Amino acid sequence: MPATTTAADLFVEDIENLALNPKILKHAQVRSTREAQAEKARWKRNLPQAGRTREGDWADAKETTLTVKGALEEASRCLKCADAPCQKSCPTSIDIKSFITSIANHNNYGAAQMILSDNPVGLSCGMVCPVSNLCVGGCNLAASDAGPINISGLQDFAVSHFKQMNIPAIRNPGLPAPEDMHPSYHTKIVCVGSGPASLSCATFLARLGYDNVEIIERLPYAGGLSASEIPQYRLADEAVQWEVQKVRELGVGIRVNTEFGTGAYTTDALLRDNGAVFVGCGMPFPNIDAAFTALAPQNGFYTSKDFLPQAAASSKAGCACATGGKRVKLYGKVLVLGAGDTAFDCCGSAFRCGARRVLVCFRRSTADMRAVDEETVLARNEKAEFLPYCQPKEVILDPTTKRITACVMYKMEQDDEGKWYRDEEQTLTIKCDFIVSAFGSVLGNPLTDELDGKVEFKWGKIVVDDTNRTKTPGLYAGGDCVGSGLTVEAANDGKTAAWSIHADVQTKLNPAATLPATRALPKFFTEVDAVDISVDFCGIKFPNPFGLASAPPATTLPMIARGFEAGWGFAVTKTYSLDKDTVTNVAPRIVRGSTSGPHYGPHQGSFLNIELISEKSAAYWISGIRQLKQDYPKHVVIASIMCSHNKEDWQELTKLTLESGADALELNLSCPHGMGEKGMGLACGQKPELVRDICGWVKEVCPLPFFAKMTPNITDINEIAAAAMEGGATGVTAINTVSGLQHIKMDAAAWPRVGPSRMTTYGGVSGNAVRPMALKMVSSIANKMPGTPIMATGGADSADTVIQFLYAGAAVVQASSSIQNQDFTIVEDWISALKWHLYAQSRSDLVQWEKQLPPMDPNVQLTTGTLPRFGKYLQQRQEDSAQRCMAAAEEPPQATHVDPAPVQHGSIPSVNDLIGRALPSIGSFKNLLSMAPHNQAVAAVNDDLCINCGKCMMTCNDTGYQAILFNPDTHQPLITDSCTGCTLCVSVCPVPDCITMVDRNEATRPRNPVYEPKRGIEYGKPELPVGSKVKLAI
């Protein structure tokens, strides 16, 4: 920049930095259609990758797969509906709304636990479930503009992250030791096949306490069709092998290369000693059209039962190692016959095995295809061709090589009654190099011979009742062999059969056992579940630090009781007063806040209320507290009371409350609306001398712990807290709601508006919007008054935020708005998340996880120089990827699943150990200044994660330091040496971890490793005269 001579020179900006900054358009723009078409191609992102370029590319191709950001946003859309239809539509009855709640609250462990509790193959199902016809088909959001929730993607996300945690499954901790179990639990039970049905059945039997359960598999590897036939790009081998590992962790034996019906594994031998057999195998043999009976792979003909296992050997390490890696190589044009899910698995696999064109041929119309949308959409995107109305007639072979050269098809027609028939006058000859037949499968021998006379067959499948029992006692069946063709249906058959086996074994061998009237199976357990989250606080043992605030969730006694049943550790009653201080509420009075923008439904960022204290009498509450303590002796009940600045009133109400048996009292000195006008609540809590008086009066007559509830509507909360402690309070509660005004409508009337005059008043703002204030005030009290017992309230919406309050100095935390957003059951998520956090503190490999996500590799954080993902750059990426995959296709697949090392961990901290951990790092600004100009940070961009939106550049230019260049061709940002480390770019970046803050040093800023502020005019220099106006870069 030239020397500064006038004040006008201070306005000169770097044109290059601002070249692409948004500008206000002052006229309509004109360009030719040809120019517009060229620009469209230049920036196009939705370029499909044709299947012919997919050779060797077995990477995940599912459209449902979610990133961290995508999962959190999708989970936050869920309405958590009452009597949720999605759950009713899930064959395994997974508590879908609850696991989605856990994902939204950064509790992937809790989400996975809910999923695996009902479905032991929940990871596989998250990857391959045809949810459009199951849970997603029942999603109530399908009736909205936003569309249904991506449930399978969320399920995959949660369980995949849990898999990375390496937390073993354990036996139900509520059971006696194995040696103390009734002998009936040592009964030999064999599950035939190692697919989803048998894995599920064996898992639930092991959870029930059966310790002699074995799975037998005829193939040399476990996993069933999930391993051998579902392609790697849809269901990764490591996912299947992880589920197999989870079954083994429960003590189930798995024997491979073992044929059912031979040796010790005949039905008669297994049933002889009161044993049980569950047949959970698939349909192992192909259904072959008469036109292909004389053909084999050497002719270019495959059935799906030939082709898919060989494709698996080309891509799945577990299959390749077990089978010697017999691979399949295709080329040219491939016909896939059939229109079911298996046919489309063959279609995608054919491309990845080298096919250049794939035609999917089927008898009926495209509208009648049995395959689900998840399969057909992928095939269309990969440029597969569909040929309906075709039935094979004959195959034409090369007379010399005997290889397929063409297939002759009959044309199918439909009569007026809707029946399809073959029109032999119409034929079509299609040239091709390979044919893959996917016309279904059958049980076949030796399985049918072994089961002959012991089960009934219908349409080639085993007949079972609704409990998965066959006609032979002790013999059960489920999965593909009974017609349950979906992975999730097979898992549910195994689950149902496990209960039937349990009921039959106990009835026969343990007549004294009492079975519950409703079928109930144990959930998924790990070491995390044994973690103690109780809190010792002011001489009171709290079951956990989660409590109902003195707010709408504690409006009535039955509500508090339901909260205790759900798992809340304590409750503060709705504030009550003496009968002379009667209250009557107005309506409307509790409204959604204005801090969430156009977001409707749960996850509101704030609420505003003008609700008063309880309308119920003191006698109601005192009687009810007494009943609560009798019914829930281990739970903590805190009575919230309020009076005006009157000694007699406070002492009278305190004495009455002591008779209730409450564990503690909370003095409401902070209600921000209504009550202050009566000389109560806020009117008392804003003046230190009044707070000191009231606490002193209560102290004179109250032997129980009591807490003064602080108002945030004051200059210095520490002054009020100190007054409360001086008066004799045991501790404080911080904070009550913040006085505010949320809505003024365009007709100039506020909301909520009451009565014909449409009047309102300042109400109490609650929820996430007030959490920063609550954390500040809690930590301030804890830092300035060390050792002060603190109950926190104000914006706790997850275990993650509760832990923040604990770190800030609180011991227990109250909640209301989060329950208003959902219901009492959210505490289940909070409990599992807090247990996980404490458990993770004992594991060196988990302690650095943030929000239950693994830390990013620092080498990945600084990835630069990669191509963006649009236009010619995306094409180049796809071509480079195709070249790498083709090269890799010649190598055996690399193992992605390895049995994890035994878990090693130290001692698990208690909740009390967390209290105040963050306080040493929270101090005055002068402490931060002592670090400048050293210990500074600058921004770094990961080009590979960048989506090229330019938000970082825009915020830096218009609210920051003009330190980001934006490439006009690649739209990739470049952080320049002008970066001061303000972190605005990180704050507005839509992609987590795309921009990170790194240390400013010789490596990151070689030209200016030490931060030197730009003063504009150096200190001590004179002011400048006004010059000519500078033309700005806008």
Q: How far is it, in rounded angstroms, from Cα 1012 to Cα 686?
A: 45
Which among 267, 282, 180 has a CA at the least distance from the CA of 228?
282
Q: How far is it, in rounded angstroms, from Cα 762 to Cα 502?
A: 61
CB 8 within 8 A of CB 1030: yes
SS3 (DSSP) at 502? helix
Give 1016: exposed, middle or buried? Use CB within 10 Å, 0-12, 13-18, 19+: exposed
Is the bond leading into 947 cis (omega within 30 degrees of zero)? no
SS3 (DSSP) at 411? strand
The first and second tokens of residue 429, run together, are 């000859």
The first and second tokens of residue 613, run together, are 């204290």
The first and second tokens of residue 353, run together, are 């095995």
Is the bond leading into 48 cis (omega within 30 degrees of zero)? no
If residue 697 lies in a helix (H) or strand (E), which one and from where to where? helix 688-701
If residue 775 lies in a helix (H) or strand (E), which one and from where to where? helix 771-784
The first and second tokens of residue 956, run together, are 């830096």
The first and second tokens of residue 240, run together, are 């299947």
Q: How far is it, in rounded angstroms, from Cα 165 to Cα 901?
A: 12
If residue 243 lies in a helix (H) or strand (E), which one and from where to where? helix 237-249
Residue with tokens 């807090």: 834
Give 432: exposed, middle or buried? Use CB within 10 Å, 0-12, 13-18, 19+: buried
CB atoms within 10 A of CB 658: 16
CB 154 within 8 A of CB 103: yes
671 is catalytic: yes
CB 396 within 8 A of CB 407: yes
SS3 (DSSP) at 510? coil
Helices 68-77 & 151-165 angle (0-180, nearest 10)? 130
Going by the DSSP 8-state scheme, the letter that residue 321 receives in this structure is H
Q: Which residues pair with 385 in a beta bridge?
A: 359
SS3 (DSSP) at 708? strand
Each as own residue / partner, the long-range contacts of residues 145-148 (CB below 8 Å, 24 or more positions apart, any chain) are 146/77
Which among 717, 838, 737 has a CA at the least distance from the CA of 788?
717
Give 947: exposed, middle or buried? Use CB within 10 Å, 0-12, 13-18, 19+: middle
The residue from 346, 407, 538, 671 that is catalytic is 671
Q: How far is it, in rounded angstroms, from Cα 353 to Cα 54?
A: 8
Give the contacts of 397 (CB within 8 A, at least 6 positions apart).
Answer: 299, 403, 404, 405
Secondary structure (DSSP) of 180-223: GS-GGGG--EEEESSSHHHHHHHHHHHHHT---EEEE-SSSSSS
Q: Which residues pair with 386 in a beta bridge?
A: 360
Residue with tokens 């959490």: 771
CB 701 within 8 A of CB 654: yes
Q: How far is it, in rounded angstroms, from Cα 188 to Cα 191?
A: 10
SS3 (DSSP) at 647? helix
Active site residues: 671
